Amino acid sequence: MVSIHKKRNYYALFFAISTLLTLWFALQFIEGAAFIFGCISIVFLIFMIRQGRLLYAARLICDNCIFKVPSVIVSNTKSEVKIAVEETVVSTFGLLIGNKLYKWGYHGAVGIKLKTIEIDRERIYLTFGDGEDTLRVALLHGITNEQEVMDIKQKFWRETGIDTVVKGW
């Protein structure tokens, strides 16, 4: 989330600089440069707004955290596998892997939905997607106590409404 915040701040800085340059060129009656920097200001404003929305979603996920894990394995329907060693946050509203966001529950019936949750002795598997594309995420949890697994199962049920399948405990 820190990288998302930094990126948003950089866009805000570049937007402010380009806006000031636009005003300066406009006051100097250099229309061509004022127009170019005005267009650049609009582009940075759009990037800043998009990054601000992404930061809002990341904060929402972090504030409603169900649990955090240090590493994750992501695979999709095309059998592509990615391994991330950044902190991963699982929430009621989505999944945050480093600076990559996976949101579910948005856009109603046509949006991405959390489909299944499975817990075994080593990993927690989350499967989510829409009708055509599905991702499966394997989270290395490191839980050794069966009561903690049952607490996480109950928390998932309360927060997401998905019944968690527990295997091998």
Give the pLDDT confidence of 114-127 residue by residue, as tens digits.
889 999 988 889 99
User: Is 90 exceeded by the pLDDT of residue 19?
Assistant: yes
Centre a 10 Å sphere on the Cβ of residue 68 and count the other Cβ atoms it contains.
Answer: 14
The pTM of the full predicted model, rounded to 2 decimals, is 0.78
45-87 pLDDT, tens digit each = 999 999 999 999 999 999 988 888 877 777 766 666 776 667 7
pLDDT interval class at 44 (50, 70, 90): very high
Burial class (CB in 10 A: 0-12, 13-18, 19+), 97: buried
Closest C-alpha to 122, from 67, 75, 88, 169: 169
**Which of the pair, 78 or 17, is modelled with greater confidence?**
17
Closest C-alpha to 123, from 63, 87, 71: 71
User: Is 70 exceeded by the pLDDT of residue 132?
Assistant: yes
- How many Cα atoms occupy the beta-carbon half-sphere of 153 within 13 Å? 16
**Which of the pair, 46 or 101, is modelled with greater confidence?**
46
What's residue 56's pLDDT? 94
Closest C-alpha to 20, from 37, 7, 39: 37
Distance from C-alpha of 57 to C-alpha of 91, rounded to nearest angstrom: 11
